[in-house]
Structure 1
Amino acid sequence: MKKKILIVEDDKEISELVTSHLEQEHFTVMTAFDGEEALQLFQTTQIDLVLLDLMLPKLNGMEFLRKIRETSVVPVLIISAKDSEFDKTLGLGFGADDYISKPFSVIELTARVQAAIRRATRYVSAGGNSSSNMIQFKALTLNLETFTAQVNGKNIQLTSKEFYILKLFMMNQNRVFTKEQLYELIWEDDYFGNENVINVHIRRLREKIEEDPSKPSYIQTVWGIGYKLGE
Protein backbone atom coordinates (compact mmCIF):
# COMPACT_ATOMS: atom_id res chain seq x y z
CA MET A 1 0.00 0.00 0.00
CA LYS A 2 1.29 3.45 -0.89
CA LYS A 3 2.30 5.70 2.00
CA LYS A 4 0.24 8.88 2.27
CA ILE A 5 1.98 12.22 2.67
CA LEU A 6 0.33 15.50 3.61
CA ILE A 7 2.06 18.60 2.24
CA VAL A 8 1.10 21.77 4.14
CA GLU A 9 2.49 24.63 2.08
CA ASP A 10 0.84 27.89 0.99
CA ASP A 11 3.22 28.40 -1.94
CA LYS A 12 1.43 26.49 -4.70
CA GLU A 13 4.49 26.30 -6.96
CA ILE A 14 6.54 24.62 -4.23
CA SER A 15 3.62 22.36 -3.33
CA GLU A 16 3.15 21.27 -6.93
CA LEU A 17 6.89 20.67 -7.41
CA VAL A 18 7.19 18.50 -4.30
CA THR A 19 3.92 16.70 -5.06
CA SER A 20 5.05 15.81 -8.56
CA HIS A 21 8.40 14.48 -7.36
CA LEU A 22 6.93 12.42 -4.49
CA GLU A 23 4.25 10.93 -6.73
CA GLN A 24 7.03 9.78 -9.08
CA GLU A 25 8.48 7.98 -6.04
CA HIS A 26 5.13 6.18 -5.62
CA PHE A 27 3.77 8.12 -2.65
CA THR A 28 0.15 9.22 -2.40
CA VAL A 29 0.15 12.98 -1.80
CA MET A 30 -2.49 15.24 -0.28
CA THR A 31 -2.07 19.02 -0.13
CA ALA A 32 -3.33 21.83 2.10
CA PHE A 33 -2.64 25.53 1.70
CA ASP A 34 -3.47 26.77 5.20
CA GLY A 35 -3.28 25.37 8.72
CA GLU A 36 -7.02 24.93 9.24
CA GLU A 37 -7.46 22.96 6.03
CA ALA A 38 -4.43 20.84 6.97
CA LEU A 39 -5.80 20.08 10.43
CA GLN A 40 -9.15 19.00 9.01
CA LEU A 41 -7.44 16.70 6.50
CA PHE A 42 -5.17 15.26 9.16
CA GLN A 43 -8.08 14.51 11.48
CA THR A 44 -10.13 12.74 8.80
CA THR A 45 -7.42 10.86 6.87
CA GLN A 46 -4.76 8.29 7.78
CA ILE A 47 -1.52 10.21 7.15
CA ASP A 48 1.92 8.56 7.24
CA LEU A 49 4.07 11.71 7.13
CA VAL A 50 3.59 15.50 7.14
CA LEU A 51 5.72 18.05 5.27
CA LEU A 52 5.01 21.31 7.04
CA ASP A 53 5.73 24.94 6.23
CA LEU A 54 5.74 27.29 9.22
CA MET A 55 4.40 30.49 7.65
CA LEU A 56 0.78 29.54 6.98
CA PRO A 57 -2.46 31.53 6.87
CA LYS A 58 -5.34 30.94 9.33
CA LEU A 59 -3.36 28.55 11.56
CA ASN A 60 0.44 28.76 11.58
CA GLY A 61 2.70 25.75 11.30
CA MET A 62 3.78 25.69 14.96
CA GLU A 63 0.18 25.74 16.15
CA PHE A 64 -0.78 23.00 13.69
CA LEU A 65 2.16 20.91 14.92
CA ARG A 66 1.22 21.46 18.55
CA LYS A 67 -2.35 20.34 17.89
CA ILE A 68 -1.50 17.12 16.05
CA ARG A 69 1.12 16.20 18.65
CA GLU A 70 -1.68 16.00 21.22
CA THR A 71 -2.85 12.77 19.58
CA SER A 72 -0.25 11.57 17.06
CA VAL A 73 3.43 10.68 16.70
CA VAL A 74 3.33 10.71 12.88
CA PRO A 75 6.68 11.89 11.43
CA VAL A 76 6.70 15.64 10.71
CA LEU A 77 9.35 17.33 8.55
CA ILE A 78 9.39 21.12 8.62
CA ILE A 79 10.26 22.89 5.36
CA SER A 80 10.72 26.60 5.95
CA ALA A 81 12.56 29.72 4.84
CA LYS A 82 12.99 30.53 8.55
CA ASP A 83 16.33 28.83 9.08
CA SER A 84 17.67 30.46 12.24
CA GLU A 85 18.86 28.23 15.09
CA PHE A 86 16.01 29.62 17.20
CA ASP A 87 13.36 28.57 14.66
CA LYS A 88 14.92 25.14 14.23
CA THR A 89 15.09 24.62 17.98
CA LEU A 90 11.51 25.82 18.38
CA GLY A 91 10.25 23.50 15.66
CA LEU A 92 12.06 20.49 17.09
CA GLY A 93 10.87 21.44 20.56
CA PHE A 94 7.25 21.44 19.37
CA GLY A 95 7.69 17.89 18.12
CA ALA A 96 9.06 18.03 14.58
CA ASP A 97 11.34 15.19 13.51
CA ASP A 98 13.47 17.08 11.02
CA TYR A 99 13.97 20.61 9.65
CA ILE A 100 14.76 21.41 6.02
CA SER A 101 15.58 24.98 5.06
CA LYS A 102 14.37 26.63 1.85
CA PRO A 103 15.59 26.58 -0.83
CA PHE A 104 16.05 22.80 -0.78
CA SER A 105 16.85 19.99 -3.18
CA VAL A 106 13.83 17.79 -3.96
CA ILE A 107 16.24 14.85 -4.09
CA GLU A 108 17.42 15.54 -0.53
CA LEU A 109 13.83 16.13 0.58
CA THR A 110 12.74 12.80 -0.91
CA ALA A 111 15.64 11.00 0.78
CA ARG A 112 14.64 12.42 4.17
CA VAL A 113 10.99 11.52 3.59
CA GLN A 114 11.94 7.95 2.69
CA ALA A 115 14.20 7.66 5.75
CA ALA A 116 11.46 8.93 8.07
CA ILE A 117 8.88 6.55 6.57
CA ARG A 118 11.36 3.68 6.86
CA ARG A 119 11.98 4.39 10.55
CA ALA A 120 8.28 4.70 11.33
CA THR A 121 7.49 1.46 9.49
CA ARG A 122 10.32 -0.38 11.21
CA TYR A 123 9.39 0.62 14.74
CA VAL A 124 5.62 0.26 14.46
CA SER A 125 5.50 -2.94 12.43
CA ALA A 126 3.02 -5.43 13.81
CA GLY A 127 3.70 -9.06 14.53
CA GLY A 128 4.76 -11.30 17.34
CA ASN A 129 3.13 -11.59 20.73
CA SER A 130 2.56 -8.62 22.98
CA SER A 131 5.29 -9.55 25.46
CA SER A 132 7.99 -9.38 22.74
CA ASN A 133 6.83 -5.89 21.91
CA MET A 134 7.28 -4.55 25.43
CA ILE A 135 10.50 -3.07 26.82
CA GLN A 136 10.80 -2.03 30.45
CA PHE A 137 13.37 -0.17 32.53
CA LYS A 138 12.49 0.73 36.11
CA ALA A 139 9.03 2.38 35.95
CA LEU A 140 9.37 3.17 32.24
CA THR A 141 7.63 0.94 29.66
CA LEU A 142 7.61 1.09 25.86
CA ASN A 143 5.11 -0.79 23.72
CA LEU A 144 6.69 -1.26 20.29
CA GLU A 145 3.47 -2.43 18.68
CA THR A 146 1.19 0.41 19.78
CA PHE A 147 3.99 3.02 19.76
CA THR A 148 3.10 4.12 23.29
CA ALA A 149 5.03 4.81 26.49
CA GLN A 150 4.21 4.85 30.17
CA VAL A 151 5.93 6.04 33.33
CA ASN A 152 4.59 4.61 36.58
CA GLY A 153 1.57 3.37 34.62
CA LYS A 154 0.77 6.83 33.28
CA ASN A 155 0.71 7.39 29.51
CA ILE A 156 3.15 9.96 28.13
CA GLN A 157 3.01 11.55 24.69
CA LEU A 158 6.23 11.15 22.72
CA THR A 159 7.14 12.41 19.28
CA SER A 160 8.41 9.78 16.86
CA LYS A 161 12.03 10.91 17.32
CA GLU A 162 11.68 10.83 21.12
CA PHE A 163 10.27 7.32 20.86
CA TYR A 164 13.17 6.15 18.65
CA ILE A 165 15.75 7.67 21.00
CA LEU A 166 14.15 6.08 24.06
CA LYS A 167 13.86 2.72 22.31
CA LEU A 168 17.54 2.83 21.35
CA PHE A 169 18.55 3.55 24.95
CA MET A 170 16.24 0.91 26.42
CA MET A 171 17.47 -1.75 23.99
CA ASN A 172 21.06 -0.89 24.98
CA GLN A 173 20.92 -0.17 28.71
CA ASN A 174 24.11 1.30 30.20
CA ARG A 175 25.69 1.68 26.77
CA VAL A 176 27.04 5.18 26.14
CA PHE A 177 26.08 6.80 22.83
CA THR A 178 27.94 9.82 21.51
CA LYS A 179 25.87 12.64 20.00
CA GLU A 180 27.28 11.69 16.61
CA GLN A 181 26.12 8.09 17.06
CA LEU A 182 22.66 9.20 18.18
CA TYR A 183 22.26 11.49 15.19
CA GLU A 184 23.43 8.92 12.66
CA LEU A 185 21.31 6.11 14.17
CA ILE A 186 18.09 8.07 14.71
CA TRP A 187 18.21 10.57 11.85
CA GLU A 188 20.06 8.16 9.54
CA ASP A 189 22.11 11.04 8.22
CA ASP A 190 25.69 12.26 8.46
CA TYR A 191 26.51 14.27 11.58
CA PHE A 192 27.83 17.77 10.94
CA GLY A 193 28.03 18.96 14.52
CA ASN A 194 24.23 19.11 14.88
CA GLU A 195 24.65 19.13 18.65
CA ASN A 196 21.73 21.45 19.31
CA VAL A 197 19.28 19.06 17.66
CA ILE A 198 20.32 16.25 20.03
CA ASN A 199 20.30 18.52 23.08
CA VAL A 200 16.75 19.72 22.37
CA HIS A 201 15.38 16.19 21.99
CA ILE A 202 17.13 14.90 25.13
CA ARG A 203 15.86 17.87 27.15
CA ARG A 204 12.29 17.40 25.95
CA LEU A 205 12.47 13.67 26.61
CA ARG A 206 13.70 14.23 30.15
CA GLU A 207 10.88 16.68 30.79
CA LYS A 208 8.41 13.93 29.92
CA ILE A 209 9.91 10.90 31.67
CA GLU A 210 11.91 12.27 34.60
CA GLU A 211 10.42 13.20 37.95
CA ASP A 212 13.08 15.91 38.20
CA PRO A 213 14.64 16.67 34.78
CA SER A 214 17.52 18.53 36.46
CA LYS A 215 18.43 15.32 38.32
CA PRO A 216 17.67 12.60 35.78
CA SER A 217 17.31 8.99 36.91
CA TYR A 218 16.87 7.56 33.42
CA ILE A 219 18.90 9.35 30.74
CA GLN A 220 22.31 10.19 32.15
CA THR A 221 24.82 12.65 30.69
CA VAL A 222 28.31 11.23 30.32
CA TRP A 223 30.26 14.47 30.26
CA GLY A 224 32.44 14.98 27.21
CA ILE A 225 31.07 11.84 25.54
CA GLY A 226 27.29 11.62 25.24
CA TYR A 227 24.33 9.95 26.96
CA LYS A 228 23.24 6.58 28.31
CA LEU A 229 20.27 4.96 30.03
CA GLY A 230 21.10 3.67 33.50
CA GLU A 231 23.10 4.47 36.57
Structure 2
Amino acid sequence: MDRILDAAEELFSQRGIDQVMLKDVAEHVGVHSSLLRYYVRDKQDLFHAVLDQRTPLTSERRLAALNRYEQEHAGDLTIEGVLHAYLDAEPANGRLDDRGWRHFGALGARVTAARTGGEALLDAYFEPVMVRLICLLRKAQPSCRTEDILWSCHFLSGALAITLAGVRRSGAKTNNNCFNYDLPDAKNRLIAVAAAGLRDAHLSRNGARATPRRSAG
Protein backbone atom coordinates (compact mmCIF):
# COMPACT_ATOMS: atom_id res chain seq x y z
CA MET A 1 0.00 0.00 0.00
CA ASP A 2 2.90 2.36 0.73
CA ARG A 3 4.23 1.81 -2.79
CA ILE A 4 0.79 2.48 -4.26
CA LEU A 5 0.38 5.71 -2.27
CA ASP A 6 3.85 6.97 -3.19
CA ALA A 7 3.29 6.21 -6.87
CA ALA A 8 -0.14 7.86 -6.89
CA GLU A 9 1.21 10.90 -5.05
CA GLU A 10 3.94 11.33 -7.64
CA LEU A 11 1.59 10.96 -10.61
CA PHE A 12 -1.14 13.17 -9.12
CA SER A 13 1.45 15.86 -8.38
CA GLN A 14 2.80 15.76 -11.95
CA ARG A 15 -0.41 15.43 -13.96
CA GLY A 16 -3.32 16.28 -11.68
CA ILE A 17 -6.02 13.87 -10.60
CA ASP A 18 -8.08 14.13 -13.80
CA GLN A 19 -5.19 12.97 -15.98
CA VAL A 20 -4.30 9.89 -13.91
CA MET A 21 -6.07 6.54 -14.08
CA LEU A 22 -5.75 3.60 -11.71
CA LYS A 23 -3.99 1.65 -14.44
CA ASP A 24 -1.36 4.40 -14.63
CA VAL A 25 -0.65 4.00 -10.93
CA ALA A 26 -0.50 0.22 -11.30
CA GLU A 27 1.98 0.52 -14.15
CA HIS A 28 4.10 2.92 -12.11
CA VAL A 29 4.21 0.43 -9.25
CA GLY A 30 4.72 -2.52 -11.59
CA VAL A 31 1.63 -4.53 -10.69
CA HIS A 32 -1.64 -5.48 -12.41
CA SER A 33 -4.39 -2.88 -12.12
CA SER A 34 -6.73 -5.43 -10.53
CA LEU A 35 -4.47 -5.45 -7.46
CA LEU A 36 -5.28 -1.80 -6.76
CA ARG A 37 -8.96 -2.68 -6.46
CA TYR A 38 -8.03 -4.81 -3.47
CA TYR A 39 -6.71 -1.72 -1.65
CA VAL A 40 -8.89 1.15 -2.95
CA ARG A 41 -12.45 1.45 -4.25
CA ASP A 42 -11.77 3.98 -7.00
CA LYS A 43 -9.51 6.86 -7.98
CA GLN A 44 -11.18 9.34 -5.63
CA ASP A 45 -10.66 6.94 -2.73
CA LEU A 46 -6.99 6.67 -3.70
CA PHE A 47 -6.68 10.44 -3.97
CA HIS A 48 -8.03 10.95 -0.45
CA ALA A 49 -5.71 8.22 0.86
CA VAL A 50 -2.77 10.06 -0.69
CA LEU A 51 -3.73 13.35 0.95
CA ASP A 52 -4.32 11.57 4.24
CA GLN A 53 -0.80 10.15 4.16
CA ARG A 54 1.08 13.37 4.96
CA THR A 55 -1.51 16.06 5.68
CA PRO A 56 -2.14 15.18 9.36
CA LEU A 57 1.59 15.02 10.12
CA THR A 58 2.20 18.37 8.41
CA SER A 59 -0.65 19.99 10.31
CA GLU A 60 0.43 18.57 13.67
CA ARG A 61 4.03 19.71 13.23
CA ARG A 62 3.10 23.24 12.21
CA LEU A 63 0.65 23.61 15.10
CA ALA A 64 3.20 22.31 17.59
CA ALA A 65 5.87 24.66 16.21
CA LEU A 66 3.58 27.69 16.53
CA ASN A 67 2.61 26.78 20.10
CA ARG A 68 6.25 26.23 21.03
CA TYR A 69 7.28 29.58 19.54
CA GLU A 70 4.62 31.44 21.51
CA GLN A 71 5.71 29.76 24.75
CA GLU A 72 9.38 30.51 24.18
CA HIS A 73 8.86 34.13 23.03
CA ALA A 74 5.90 35.27 25.09
CA GLY A 75 5.60 39.04 24.92
CA ASP A 76 8.26 39.27 22.20
CA LEU A 77 6.60 37.83 19.09
CA THR A 78 7.71 39.04 15.67
CA ILE A 79 6.18 38.51 12.25
CA GLU A 80 9.35 36.81 11.03
CA GLY A 81 9.49 34.59 14.10
CA VAL A 82 5.89 33.47 13.69
CA LEU A 83 6.40 32.73 10.00
CA HIS A 84 9.60 30.80 10.66
CA ALA A 85 7.80 28.68 13.25
CA TYR A 86 5.09 27.97 10.69
CA LEU A 87 7.36 27.26 7.73
CA ASP A 88 10.30 25.53 9.39
CA ALA A 89 8.35 22.53 10.71
CA GLU A 90 10.30 19.76 8.99
CA PRO A 91 9.09 16.37 7.77
CA ALA A 92 9.49 13.43 10.15
CA ASN A 93 12.70 12.29 8.46
CA GLY A 94 14.18 15.78 8.64
CA ARG A 95 14.93 15.86 4.92
CA LEU A 96 13.45 18.91 3.27
CA ASP A 97 14.58 17.60 -0.12
CA ASP A 98 12.80 14.25 0.22
CA ARG A 99 11.05 13.46 -3.08
CA GLY A 100 7.86 12.36 -1.38
CA TRP A 101 7.48 15.65 0.43
CA ARG A 102 8.27 17.55 -2.77
CA HIS A 103 5.51 15.59 -4.51
CA PHE A 104 3.19 16.40 -1.62
CA GLY A 105 4.00 20.08 -2.02
CA ALA A 106 3.29 19.94 -5.74
CA LEU A 107 0.04 18.11 -5.11
CA GLY A 108 -0.96 20.74 -2.58
CA ALA A 109 -0.39 23.41 -5.20
CA ARG A 110 -2.67 21.57 -7.61
CA VAL A 111 -5.38 21.03 -5.02
CA THR A 112 -5.46 24.70 -4.04
CA ALA A 113 -5.42 25.83 -7.67
CA ALA A 114 -8.51 23.96 -8.84
CA ARG A 115 -11.67 22.27 -7.61
CA THR A 116 -10.29 18.76 -7.33
CA GLY A 117 -12.27 17.37 -4.41
CA GLY A 118 -9.45 17.56 -1.88
CA GLU A 119 -10.18 21.03 -0.51
CA ALA A 120 -12.50 19.81 2.26
CA LEU A 121 -9.91 17.36 3.54
CA LEU A 122 -7.13 19.95 3.53
CA ASP A 123 -9.38 22.53 5.19
CA ALA A 124 -10.33 20.08 7.92
CA TYR A 125 -6.69 19.46 8.78
CA PHE A 126 -5.20 22.90 8.24
CA GLU A 127 -7.93 25.20 9.55
CA PRO A 128 -6.75 24.90 13.20
CA VAL A 129 -3.20 25.69 12.05
CA MET A 130 -4.28 28.73 10.05
CA VAL A 131 -6.41 30.02 12.93
CA ARG A 132 -3.37 29.71 15.21
CA LEU A 133 -1.13 31.43 12.65
CA ILE A 134 -3.55 34.33 12.30
CA CYS A 135 -3.81 34.65 16.09
CA LEU A 136 -0.03 34.86 16.53
CA LEU A 137 0.37 37.34 13.67
CA ARG A 138 -2.20 39.54 15.38
CA LYS A 139 -0.15 39.41 18.57
CA ALA A 140 3.08 40.12 16.69
CA GLN A 141 1.54 43.07 14.82
CA PRO A 142 -1.47 44.20 16.90
CA SER A 143 -1.90 47.42 14.92
CA CYS A 144 -2.44 45.50 11.67
CA ARG A 145 -6.00 44.99 10.47
CA THR A 146 -7.44 41.47 10.53
CA GLU A 147 -8.36 41.82 6.87
CA ASP A 148 -4.73 42.42 5.94
CA ILE A 149 -3.56 39.45 8.01
CA LEU A 150 -6.12 37.18 6.34
CA TRP A 151 -5.02 38.28 2.86
CA SER A 152 -1.38 37.82 3.83
CA CYS A 153 -2.06 34.24 4.99
CA HIS A 154 -4.02 33.59 1.80
CA PHE A 155 -1.10 34.67 -0.38
CA LEU A 156 1.38 32.88 1.87
CA SER A 157 -0.46 29.55 1.51
CA GLY A 158 -0.40 29.71 -2.27
CA ALA A 159 3.25 30.76 -2.44
CA LEU A 160 4.20 28.05 0.06
CA ALA A 161 2.56 25.31 -1.99
CA ILE A 162 4.50 26.37 -5.08
CA THR A 163 7.73 26.73 -3.10
CA LEU A 164 7.43 23.27 -1.53
CA ALA A 165 6.76 21.85 -4.97
CA GLY A 166 10.11 23.22 -6.12
CA VAL A 167 8.54 25.20 -8.95
CA ARG A 168 11.10 27.58 -10.45
CA ARG A 169 9.66 30.37 -12.53
CA SER A 170 11.54 33.63 -12.06
CA GLY A 171 14.92 33.65 -13.73
CA ALA A 172 14.34 30.57 -15.88
CA LYS A 173 15.33 32.51 -19.01
CA THR A 174 17.88 34.88 -17.52
CA ASN A 175 21.39 34.62 -16.17
CA ASN A 176 20.52 35.37 -12.54
CA ASN A 177 20.46 32.87 -9.69
CA CYS A 178 16.70 32.68 -9.11
CA PHE A 179 16.36 29.50 -11.14
CA ASN A 180 18.66 27.38 -8.95
CA TYR A 181 17.49 27.88 -5.39
CA ASP A 182 17.45 25.49 -2.47
CA LEU A 183 14.38 25.07 -0.31
CA PRO A 184 15.68 26.67 2.91
CA ASP A 185 16.78 29.74 0.95
CA ALA A 186 13.42 29.90 -0.81
CA LYS A 187 11.61 29.76 2.54
CA ASN A 188 13.72 32.61 3.91
CA ARG A 189 12.89 34.71 0.88
CA LEU A 190 9.20 33.86 1.22
CA ILE A 191 9.23 34.94 4.87
CA ALA A 192 10.95 38.23 4.00
CA VAL A 193 8.40 39.01 1.29
CA ALA A 194 5.39 38.03 3.42
CA ALA A 195 6.58 40.03 6.45
CA ALA A 196 7.38 43.11 4.37
CA GLY A 197 4.02 42.88 2.62
CA LEU A 198 2.14 42.70 5.89
CA ARG A 199 3.96 45.70 7.32
CA ASP A 200 3.51 47.65 4.08
CA ALA A 201 -0.24 46.93 4.07
CA HIS A 202 -0.47 48.33 7.59
CA LEU A 203 1.50 51.46 6.70
CA SER A 204 -0.51 52.02 3.52
CA ARG A 205 -3.78 51.82 5.44
CA ASN A 206 -2.54 54.53 7.75
CA GLY A 207 -1.12 56.74 5.02
CA ALA A 208 2.40 56.31 6.31
CA ARG A 209 4.06 54.26 3.62
CA ALA A 210 7.50 55.55 2.84
CA THR A 211 8.16 57.02 -0.58
CA PRO A 212 10.16 54.52 -2.66
CA ARG A 213 13.74 55.61 -3.25
CA ARG A 214 14.87 55.99 -6.82
CA SER A 215 17.47 53.61 -8.10
CA ALA A 216 20.94 55.03 -8.39
CA GLY A 217 21.05 53.74 -11.95
* TM-score, normalisation: structure 1: 0.27
Q: Which structure shows the higher strand fraction?
A: 1
Q: Which structure shows the higher helix fraction?
A: 2
